[in-house]
Chains A and B, each alone.
Chain A
Amino acid sequence: MNGIHDMGGMTCFGPIRRENNEPIFHADWERRVFAMNLAAFAFLGPADRARHAIERMDPVEYLTTSYYEHWLAALVTMAKDLGYVTDEEMDSGRVAAKKETPNPPPDAVMVEGLVRGGMPATRDAGGLMPAFKVGDTVRARNVEITGHTRLARYVRGKVGVIKMHHGSHVFPDTVAHDRGENAQPLYTVRFEARELWGDNVERRDCVYFDLWEDYLEHSQRKVSRP
Chain B
Amino acid sequence: MSDHRHDSPPSPYHSTHRTAERNKELARRVERIESLLIGKGIVAKDALDKLVDIYENDLGPMNGAKVVARAWVDAAFKRRLLDNATAAVAELGFGGLQGEHMVVVENTPKIHNVVVCTLCSCYPWPVLGLPPTWYKDAAYRSRVVIDPRSVLAEFGTSLANDVEVRVWDSSAEVRYLVLPERPAGTDNLSESELAKLVDRDAMIGVANVSAP
Residues of A within 8 A of B (CB): 5-20, 22, 24-36, 38-40, 43, 51, 54, 63-69, 72, 75-76, 79, 84-85, 89-95, 98-99, 101, 104-108, 110-112, 114-122, 150, 152, 154, 164, 166, 169-170, 172, 186, 188, 190, 193, 196-197, 203-212
Contacts and interface: CB of A to CB of B under 8 A. Distances in A.
Contact of B134 (A17, A95, A101): A17
10 contacts: A11-B143, A28-B27, A34-B51, A35-B48, A40-B37, A79-B42, A89-B36, A94-B35, A204-B163, A205-B148
B138 A121 contact: no
B171 interface: yes
Contacts of B33: 36, 72, 75-76, 90, 93
Given A7-B119, A17-B137, A118-B98, 16 more contacts: A7-B142, A14-B11, A15-B7, A16-B151, A19-B132, A39-B43, A40-B43, A67-B15, A72-B33, A105-B44, A105-B47, A114-B97, A119-B97, A150-B171, A169-B172, A204-B162
B5 A19 contact: yes
Chain B binding surface, main DSSP class? mixed
Contact of A99 (B4, B40, B55, B100): B40
A72 B30 contact: yes
Contacts of B209: none
Given A27-B27, A69-B26, A98-B40, A18 B1 contact: yes
Contacts of A75: 33
B145 interface: yes
Contact of A93 (B3, B31, B168): B31
A17 B36 contact: no
A36 B32 contact: no
6 closest A-B pairs by CB: A93-B32, A8-B118, A210-B172, A108-B50, A121-B173, A10-B142
Contacts of A111: 47, 50-51
A15 B4 contact: yes
B48 to A, nearest CB: 4
B132 A32 contact: no
A33 B30 contact: yes
A206 B143 CA distance: 13
Contacts of B161: 204
Nearest to B146: A9
Contact of A209 (B97, B98, B151, B171): B171
A138 to B, nearest CB: 15
A38 B51 contact: yes
B170 interface: yes
Interface residues of B, number: 91
B212 interface: no
A120 B173 CA distance: 8
A32 B48 contact: yes
A16 to B, nearest CB: 5
B56 A25 contact: yes
Given A25-B56, A36-B37, A152 B142 contact: no
Contacts of B46: 107-108
Contacts of A212: 172
A13 B47 contact: no
A187 B14 CA distance: 34
Contact of B164 (A22, A152, A204): A204
Given A15-B154, A119-B100, A20 B1 contact: yes
Nearest to A93: B32
Contacts of B9: 14
B23 interface: yes
